[in-house]
């Protein structure tokens, strides 16, 4: 039986805080890009007050999150300064920084000293509790007692009393530490503590999944709200993670102006999202604080893998997103955000899209309403135009909002074309995965037209001797092979751009072998943009892609091999939902361009119109 209580309730805290030796330092973060913002997010939610950001010479005297941007010379002259550096920063950059000032996040945090001044209750008595006890012992902290959801006949653990979670109302002056390792039990514990009014401590990666944190524009949109003087509102209940968000933003002099939900709750000061939007949305930012199951962002949700997800959790998040968008807020306007991966599609959240293992490319989506690996638009008929689409997540079915592929289908249908589209784009697929899918399945699907929309997923080198390997298969092989050692082919020092364009040419040969017309597109992206603004850098620069972006920027041009759309959305607002994924407006533009390119070829094919 869970703790009963009023709305608001507990305060969530990170189990870890900055090590004592760093607390009195002047704390800075190196650079302002996707990787450094993830470091900043993690430190901020550990309640670390960062003094500023450091660059070589770029953006000096500008401000980000109410903190100054300073040059490296200033930091070198500050004996008390330290620089938090992402693990992904290029070695050549690391070598240019003062070694004695570099701090990596993995070495910066330790069990919070706050716990020394608290009475501690550990929730759980399994392996997680055992692990947590060892960490507490190093800090000379002894738990007051242990707590379980159902005690049964267990009265003592490690010499301490064991109580049920329903008894925690007597201990609201205590700190409850969630110990479970298994994600199912962690969710259960958080749910059972919903009415607890005391403080709850847990590991931050239970809230901020690192891969997911890299995708969302949380701090980026907060900074924009500061600069545009927008009012900030949290969608959700008071207390818990909402209270932590308020405390974190307060450290950086950012005020939360109120709370909203689907309906108003005057007793707890919660306004209706629709009432909030009545006088306009352009001067507001909404933070959606509805939970998602941990690791929901991991694309390796594979059939026969234990997922065990409470279906109501994603439904609540989707309902929140729907309400926010119906009220007039949108991704295009940058006026809502979340700590959760809010740009994923409803079908993906609800697990209507499940990955099967695939011996060729690692993982393949199984569509309940189509065929494995291929989302079908239209009805398969003998006398129709068959279009096959390949690409990464930007063309796939896992993202919200609607992709350009579906919009292309509607345009063809409106033009009276009897067509079927097979969308074989998958998240994280690169040009190698595309080629392999084409080689294997085109013989069965027999397309008239093959479209590749790619480029971004080949901006970095894979962890493989030869780049002609599926990234997912390399990942799986490292897990299966003894000591992680396996053969990945002969080493090849080919440039990233040269590798991509060579495989575009190979795909053209394969498509033509199958009797298809091939159209290769260098997809739009701002990673390769020169002279980025401060905001653009925080949105579109990724450490792993810096070298590839330079190469692409130098060599990508109009070509007989592909259609160059790389610069299509540069200097245009409202085109990206994250680092490279497109908004509804951008997808509409992209569908128009693709339709214009392929229409002459389609109209030359001898088929019956609708």
Give the dihedral sign, CA 353/357/363/369: negative
Q: What mean pLDDT comes out for the span 453-471?
A: 95
Task: Determine the pLDDT at residue 339.
Answer: 92
What confidence tens digit (pLDDT) does each residue in 555-568 have?
Answer: 999 899 999 999 99
Phi, psi dihedral angles at 396 (to 5 degrees): -85, 180
Both tokens of 11, joined, read 């305060």
How far is the C-alpha of 576 from the C-alpha of 259, rounded, in Å?
A: 27
What confidence tens digit (pLDDT) does each residue in 543-592 have?
Answer: 999 999 999 999 999 899 999 999 999 999 999 999 999 999 999 999 99
How far is the C-alpha of 582 from the C-alpha of 331, rounded, in Å?
A: 10
pLDDT band with cut points at 50, 70 and 90 for residue 184: confident
How far is the C-alpha of 187 from the C-alpha of 265, rounded, in Å?
A: 26
Q: What is the pTM of this model?
A: 0.93
Q: What mean pLDDT comes out for the span 243-253?
A: 96
Task: Determine the pLDDT at residue 442.
Answer: 98
Task: Determine the pLDDT at residue 299.
Answer: 42
Q: Is the pLDDT of residue 149 over 80?
A: yes
Task: Determine the pLDDT at residue 153.
Answer: 87
Both tokens of 88, joined, read 């992904």
Residue 52, SS3 per DSSP: strand
What confidence tens digit (pLDDT) does each residue in 299-327 have?
Answer: 445 555 544 455 667 888 999 999 999 99
Q: Is the pLDDT of residue 297 over 50?
A: no
What's the mean pLDDT when you consider all of the chain?
91
Task: Determine the pLDDT at residue 607.
Answer: 64
Specify whether the CB–CB gap between 258 and 271 falls below 8 A. yes
Instruction: Please state the separation of Cα 70 from the chain's center in Å.
Output: 28
Q: Is the pLDDT of residue 211 over 80?
A: no
């Amino acid at each position: 039986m869970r703790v009963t209580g009023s709305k608001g309730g507990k305060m969530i805290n990170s189990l870890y805080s900055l090590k004592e030796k760093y607390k009195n330092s002047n704390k800075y973060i190196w650079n302002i890009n996707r990787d450094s913002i993830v470091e900043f997010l993690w430190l901020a939610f550990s309640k670390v007050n960062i003094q500023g950001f450091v660059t070589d010479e770029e953006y000096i005297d500008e401000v980000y999150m109410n903190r100054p941007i300073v040059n490296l010379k200033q930091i070198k002259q500050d004996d008390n300064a330290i620089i938090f550096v992402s693990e992904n920063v290029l070695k050549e950059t690391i070598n240019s920084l003062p070694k004695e000032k570099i701090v990596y996040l993995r070495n910066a945090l330790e069990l919070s000293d706050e716990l020394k001044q608290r009475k501690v209750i550990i929730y759980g008595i399994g392996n997680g509790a055992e692990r947590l006890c060892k960490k507490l012992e190093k800090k000379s902290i002894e738990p007051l007692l242990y707590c379980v959801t159902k005690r049964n006949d267990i009265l003592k653990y490690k010499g301490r009393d064991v109580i049920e979670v329903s008894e925690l109302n007597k201990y609201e002056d205590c700190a409850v530490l969630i110990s479970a390792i298994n994600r199912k039990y962690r969710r259960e514990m958080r749910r059972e503590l919903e009415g607890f009014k005391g403080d709850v401590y847990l590991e931050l990666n239970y809230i901020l999944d690192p891969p997911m944190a890299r995708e969302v524009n949380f701090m980026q949109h907060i900074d924009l709200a500061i600069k545009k003087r927008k009012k900030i509102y949290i969608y959700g209940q008071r207390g818990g993670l909402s209270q932590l968000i308020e405390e974190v933003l307060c450290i950086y002099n950012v005020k939360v102006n109120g709370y909203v939900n689907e309906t108003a709750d005057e007793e707890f000061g919660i306004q209706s999202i629709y009432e909030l939007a009545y006088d306009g949305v352009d001067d507001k930012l909404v933070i959606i604080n509805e939970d998602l199951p941990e690791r929901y962002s991991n694309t390796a949700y594979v059939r026969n893998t234990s997922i065990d997800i409470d279906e109501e959790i994603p439904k609540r998040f989707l309902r929140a997103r729907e309400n926010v968008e119906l009220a007039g807020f949108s991704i295009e306007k940058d006026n809502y955000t979340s700590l959760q991966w809010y740009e994923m599609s409803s079908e993906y959240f609800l697990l209507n899209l499940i990955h099967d293992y695939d011996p060729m490319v690692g993982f393949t989506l199984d569509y309940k309403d189509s065929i494995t690996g291929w989302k079908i638009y239209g009805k398969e008929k003998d006398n129709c135009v068959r279009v096959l689409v390949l690409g990464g997540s930007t063309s796939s079915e896992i993202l919200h909002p609607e992709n350009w592929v579906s919009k292309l289908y509607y345009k063809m249908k409106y033009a009276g074309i009897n067509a079927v589209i097979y969308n074989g784009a998958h998240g994280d697929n690169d040009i190698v995965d595309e080629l392999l899918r084409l080689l294997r399945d085109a013989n069965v699907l027999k397309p008239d037209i093959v479209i590749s929309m790619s480029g971004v997923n080949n901006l970095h080198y894979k962890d493989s001797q030869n780049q002609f390997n599926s990234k997912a298969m390399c990942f799986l092989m490292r897990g299966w092979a003894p000591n992680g050692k396996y053969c990945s082919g002969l080493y090849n020092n080919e440039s990233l751009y040269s590798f991509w364009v060579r495989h575009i040419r190979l795909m053209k040969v394969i498509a033509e072998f199958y009797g298809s017309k091939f159209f290769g597109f260098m997809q739009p992206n701002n990673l390769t943009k020169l002279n980025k603004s401060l905001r653009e850098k925080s949105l579109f620069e990724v450490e792993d892609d810096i070298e590839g972006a330079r190469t692409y920027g130098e060599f990508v041009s109009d070509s007989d091999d592909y259609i160059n759309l790389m610069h299509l959305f540069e200097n245009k607002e409202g085109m990206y939902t994250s680092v490279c994924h497109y908004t509804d407006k951008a997808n509409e533009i992209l569908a128009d361009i693709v339709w214009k390119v392929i229409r002459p070829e389609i109209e030359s094919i001898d088929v019956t119109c609708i």
